[in-house]
Amino acid sequence: MPFNNRVAVVTGAGGNIGRAICRQLGAAGVHVAATDVSLDAVTKTATDLQALGYDVRPYQQDVTSEENVQSSFAQIVAVFGKVDVLINNAGVWCHHDGGCRHFLETISDDEWKRIIDINLLGTFHCMKQVIPGMAERRFGRIVNLGSIAGNSGLPGAADYSAAKAAVIMLTKVAAMENAKRGITVNSVSPGMVARGDATAPNNGTWLGRNGLADEIARAIVFLADDDAGYITGVDIPVDGGRILGPHNFNINEEGKFLS
């Protein structure tokens, strides 16, 4: 049975990709605890999805604080009884000043720490909370958000690229540690993702466009399903082929070289 009465926690669920993950899980009948540092944002996600008949409930959670993560997971388990699926989606790339491109030598320790803490420490905190219960029940699905930045690197985001590379390795080690306990741990690495329903052209990808939040969520929900039990420790790029390398060939829709 796919998603056999499962309970999922989705972090960063007030954001673009988080909302799409909650929508797809909710549509599949999963009970979803949607968390975010912004209670307003995650309440909007939950209210919109409850209107569609999905069981999505909002929780305030700052993934950088172990204390806050502990208490919010305790609240969630008290209400839902368990956590079967954890989607570590909370993540930020841009700095406090709103700037998203910073040469390494201009990054302050505070910003470095903030980016590492939200993306990496937050993922670690949430995994720590769910693994013991999953191990006890011999079932768990953990999906972490990597990034093309963590695979190929993103100039102007040394902090974010380092954090996401570490998330991908944390995923692999957790997969090894938990394989015999019925828990799979995988990551999904998006390329550039559009906001809204329209993709922008992106010639850095082989598909020639940015992705949609729903296209990222599709891969995440696939890995979260009961049926994905023989996949662990992998990172799935969902990036329009960006990871294949530089897009130097001009091939048209008929499969012909133009130059």
For 121-180, give the DSSP string: IHHHHHHHHHHHHHHHHT-EEEEEE--HHHHT--TTBHHHHHHHHHHHHHHHHHHHHHGG
- CA 56, 121, 73: angle at the middle one, nearest 5? 35
Q: 102 to 141, contacts with ligand NAD by CB under 6 A? A: 118, 122
Given the complex with ligand NAD, which of 140 and 240 has the nearer CB atom? 240
Among 30, 85, 120, 145, the residue binding ligand NAD under the rule CB under 6 A is: 145
Q: Is 61 in the site for ligand NAD (CB under 6 A)?
A: yes
CA-nearest of 29, 31, 10 to 21 is 10
CB of 145 to ligand NAD, least distance (A): 4
CA-nearest of 238, 227, 212 to 85 is 227
Amino acid at 80: F
Q: Is 12 in the site for ligand NAD (CB under 6 A)?
A: yes
Would residue 54 show up in a list of annotated catalytic residues for this protein? no
Given the complex with ligand NAD, which of 135 and 243 has the nearer CB atom? 243
CB of 106 to ligand NAD, least distance (A): 21
Q: Reduced to 3 states, what is the DSSP secondary structure of residue 55?
A: coil
- What is the C-alpha separation between 169 and 190, in angstroms, rounded? 16
Among 7, 56, 83, 90, the residue binding ligand NAD under the rule CB under 6 A is: 90
- Nearest residue to ligand NAD by CB is 15
Binding site for ligand NAD (CB under 6 A): 11-12, 14-18, 36-38, 41, 61-64, 89-93, 118, 122, 145, 147, 190, 192-193
Residues designated as active site: 160
